[in-house]
């Protein structure tokens, strides 16, 4: 899955995980957002929830990362999303930062 997965943060914590997954899927499928076919969406709930979105092709993930402003609209509210690459393995620096 390396190179095909992005990490997404910024959607509301009160959104149920299945609804968050649906909203994120719709957003990241759209070509106007740089999106494409999605293999998997995994929402990790918590006070600062995040989602791991794996695309069918690594070039889609790269396009998503190049888009500067992803905004998820839910009703009349817009949520700016933070989209970053997801590393399957943590580097030693990331492990140490968690301490």
CATH of the domain at 72: 3.30.70.330
Name the domain count of the chain. 1
What's the domain range around 67?
A: 5-85
Question: Residue 94: inside a domain, yes or no?
Answer: no
**pLDDT for 93 beyond 80:** no
Burial 52-82 (b: 16+ CB within 10 A, else e): bbbbeeeebbebbeeeeebebeeeeeeeebe
Q: Give the pLDDT score at 85.
A: 94
Question: Residue 23: inside a domain, yes or no?
Answer: yes
pLDDT tens-digit map of 14-59: 999 999 999 999 999 999 999 999 999 999 988 899 999 999 999 9
Question: Residue 80: inside a domain, yes or no?
Answer: yes
Question: Residue 97: inside a domain, yes or no?
Answer: no
Q: What is the pTM of this model?
A: 0.83
Question: Residue 19: inside a domain, yes or no?
Answer: yes
Phi/psi at 67 (5° precision): -70, 125
pLDDT bin (cut points 50, 70, 90) of residue 96 is very low
Question: Residue 48: inside a domain, yes or no?
Answer: yes
């Amino acid at each position: 899955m390396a190179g095909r997965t992005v990490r997404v943060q910024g959607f509301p914590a009160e959104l149920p995980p299945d609804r968050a997954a649906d909203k994120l899927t719709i957003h990241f499928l759209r070509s106007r957002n740089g999106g494409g076919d999605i293999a998997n969406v995994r929402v990790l709930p918590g006070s600062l929830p995040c989602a791991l979105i794996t695309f069918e092709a690594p070039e889609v993930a790269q396009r998503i990362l190049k888009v500067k402003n992803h905004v998820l609209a839910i009703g009349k509210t817009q949520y700016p999303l933070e989209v970053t690459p997801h590393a399957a393995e943590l580097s030693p620096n990331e492990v140490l930062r968690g301490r």
